[in-house]
Amino acid sequence: MKNIRNIAIIAHVDHGKTTLVDKLLKMSGTFRENEEVNDRVMDSNDIERERGITILAKTTSIDYNGYRINILDTPGHADFGGEVERIMNMVDGVLLIVDAYEGTMPQTRFVLKKALEAHVTPIVVVNKVDKPSARPKEVVDEVLDLFIELGADIDQLEFPVIYASALSGTCSLDPDINTQKETMDPIFDTIINTIPCPKVEEEGGLQFQPALLDYNDFVGRIGIGLVKRGTVKANEMVSCVRLDGSIKQFRIQKMFGFIGLKRIEVKEAHAGDIIAISGLPDISVGETVCTIGKEEALPILRIDEPTLQMTFGVNTSPFVGREGKIVTARKIEERLYKETEKDVSLKVEPYDNESFTVSGRGELHLSILIENMRREGFELQVSKPVVIKKEIDGVMCEPFEDVQIDVPEEYVGAVIEALGNREGIMENMVTQENQVRLYYTMPSRGLIGFMTEFMTMTKGYGILNHTYKEYRKLAGTQVGERKLGVLVSMENGQATAYSLGQLEERGVMFIEPGDQVYEGMIVGEHNHDNDLAVNVVKGKNLTNTRSAGKDHTVVLKRPRKMSLEVCLDYINSDELVEVTPLSFRMRKKVLNTSERKKLDSKKV
């Protein structure tokens, strides 16, 4: 046990966390000489690779100079912060990675706060020091300020600093770029010398607490956690102290340890080991697995409550079943409940016979679930995300977020005005050369649908980061609805260049000539704040005096392409996104044009 070190790697999105784990694995000799290894090996999921983000916490271990170093690569995005918090109960130290140019960012603050609250030992790695714009010394000062601000104790403020370039596989203990050497030994040595061995008891009855869940079809639900006390063996009968205090006995069917990237079956594990066990079909995060007759529960782990919810339903558009194989309510329900087996931050409840209310930690959390389902062949329709309101001490409250915006100076006025309209409260403003950094607190509601508007007003130069802060009293006005109306198709058929050309001055189109449309489908954005029913399938009437050959070719503007996140951001509460394996289409909840007009007239 003295030769075990358990650490988590934490960082803001895209600060090089997963790349650094790659290099640690490769330079420790964990892989065979002839073993083929991809870049960003820890991001095993397709979506993680495409987006360059870590979604699921991963466990790996490295053997170095007689020491076993267990590393947990944690998600950097606040939507997956529940995992970060629980991981802190499994480790004794953290590697905080900070970009040598960007410095501390909102998620750096978020993940570091969780680490300091758990009183783990920090090591700071200033990454990307080979960037021409790197400013490592100032970044270390920023990190120190952040530690003080978050209430770090004296021991935590004495953190060692390592300067590295994860991409090049170099590091050193000196900020001077010329001292960088192609080795990761300074990081390994600092981990061994700084991080204490696990605070566990080797003797006594077993105590094991799952902090993460996994699931596979062969063994069912798998609990991943740290053995806090005693020894555990495969096939042993043990008891589980449930969250409600009841006790359930079960046999450990399979037990896994981690070596490199492989999950290997083990027969025995001791205090300080990070393992995965299966055998109890409904094992949950925070329960305690004990020796029979010596049931002592560990403190229950807190699980972050969902802050956002949306409706997932059966696709009811005229195009149902054309592009996806799985379209029934039963299959959608099965898939959603299967996801809750391994994602404790996700809640699913029936809404009606054909749809389900799905609650999660944020837009990214829910959109990744939709993306996974789409790739598996599902067709479904989803509603606009809405925040979950709570009554606290008789006052209606909603979630608020810390927002940090980096924007060129010329766009600051427009951004401040837009955030003011969405109930944002400015906390601070810092100018560096021509860049301005704005710090805001604002309701989560105000951020829904803001990203597209923000990217347009800053011509794509703005960077927005946000992280959940707390529940506060409900903000005043109606925020989060789109200002402009939409162009809605009033016919079924194939869009023609002729009709799209005639509609161009009415707004921005989302479709091209040849695209199939149906009545009630959103085909563009209107220039004004009202919705407009349009005919996009009308062809040109040809007469014998003007033949088709004499026509000028219609030159159309390029349509606006909408990704899943942009669609979810864009729609209003009376609209839905139809999601299939091949397409995203936005549509009105009520497809029939005359019925919709009657409903709209009643609202007024």
pLDDT digits (tens, 9 = 90+) for 250-280: 999 989 888 776 788 899 999 989 898 988 8
Residues 6+ apart with CB under 8 A from 273: 4, 226, 227, 257
Answer yes or no: is pLDDT of 204 > 60.
yes
267/346 same-domain check: no
| In-domain check, residue 200 | no
Q: Quick check: is 300 in a domain?
A: no
- Residue 532 sits in which domain range? 486-603
Q: In the listed set 325, 360, 387, which residue is the last one of a domain according to the structure?
A: 387
Taking alpha carbons only, the member of 222, 198, 201 closest to residue 291 is 201
Per-residue pLDDT, averaged over 442-458, amounts to: 83
d(CA 300, CA 302): 6
pLDDT at 65: 85
Extended strands (E) in 217-307: 220-229, 231-233, 237-241, 247-251, 254-259, 262-265, 268-270, 274-278, 288-290
Q: Are residues 271 and 330 in the same domain?
A: no
pLDDT above 70 covers a percentage of the chain that reads 89
Residues 50 and 166 in one domain: yes
| 339 has pLDDT over 90 | no
pLDDT at 488: 95
CB 100 within 8 A of CB 127: yes
Give this prediction's pTM: 0.78
Is 522:488 a contact under the CB 8 Å cutoff? yes
User: What pLDDT score was predicted for residue 162?
Assistant: 93
The pLDDT of residue 56 is above 50: no
Q: Give the Cα separation of 239 and 83 in Å (integer).
A: 25
Asked whether residue 262 falls in the same domain as residue 189, the answer is no
Residues 182 and 94 in one domain: yes
CA distance 221 to 341: 7
Residues 504 and 452 in one domain: no
Q: What is the pLDDT at residue 81?
A: 59
Q: Is the pLDDT of residue 535 over 90?
A: yes
* Band of pLDDT at residue 286, cut at 50, 70 and 90: confident
pLDDT at 75 over 80: no
Residues 38 and 182 in one domain: yes
Q: Classify residue 199: in a domain, yes or no.
A: no
pLDDT for 542: 65
Going by C-alpha positions, the residue among 569, 591, 47 that lies closest to residue 319 is 591
218 & 361 share domain: no
Q: Would you state the pLDDT for residue 52?
A: 44
Quick check: 541 pLDDT over 80?
no
Distances (CA, A) of 184 to 107, 171, 219, 366, 581: 25, 6, 37, 37, 42
Domain termination residue (choose one: 242, 259, 290): 290
Residue 143 sits in a domain whose CATH number is 3.40.50.300
**Over 60: is that where the pLDDT of 199 sits?**
yes
Q: What is the DSSP letter of 422?
A: T
Q: What are phi and psi of 367, to 5 degrees?
A: -70, -30
pLDDT in tens, 92-127: 999 998 988 888 876 677 778 878 888 899 999 999
Residue 518's pLDDT band, with cuts at 50, 70 and 90, is: very high
Give pLDDT, residue 552. Answer: 54
| Residues composing the chain | 604
Is a pLDDT exceeding 80 seen at residue 169?
Answer: yes
Q: Residues 565-576: what's their mean pLDDT? A: 88
In which residue are the tokens 């079960």 written? Answer: 250
What angle in degrees, to the nearest 10, is found between the helix axes of 106-117 and 136-149?
50
What is the tally of structural domains in the chain?
5
Find where tokens 């699980």 sit: 303
In the prediction, which pLDDT does 30 show?
A: 53
C-alpha to C-alpha distance for 320 and 329, rounded to whole angstroms: 13
- The dihedral built from the CA positions of residue 213, 53, 411 and 565, taken in this order, carries a sign that is negative
Q: Let me know if 468 is exposed, middle or buried by CB neighbors in 10 A (0-12, 13-18, 19+).
A: buried
* Contact in structure between 70 and 7 (CB atoms under 8 Å): yes
> Do both 177 and 47 map to the same domain?
yes
Q: What is the tens place of the pLDDT at every residue in 12-55?
A: 767 677 788 888 888 766 544 434 444 444 444 455 445 444 44
Check if the beta carbon of residue 278 is closer than 8 Å to that of residue 222: yes
Residue 480 lies in a domain: no
Distance CA(205)–CA(230), nearest Å, equals 5
Residue 145 forms part of a structural domain: yes
C-alpha distances (whole Å) from 599 to each of 201, 268, 480, 576, 592 are 67, 66, 22, 17, 11
Give the pLDDT band of residue 300 (cuts 50, 70, 90). confident
Residue of higher predicted confidence among 88 and 578: 578
Co-location of 85 and 149 in the same domain: yes
Report if residue 303 sits inside a domain.
Answer: no
Residues 352 and 443 both lie in one domain: no
Mean pLDDT to the nearest integer, 233-244: 91
- In this structure, are 396 and 377 located in the same domain? no
Residue 201 lies in a domain: no
CATH label of the domain that carries residue 222: 2.40.30.10
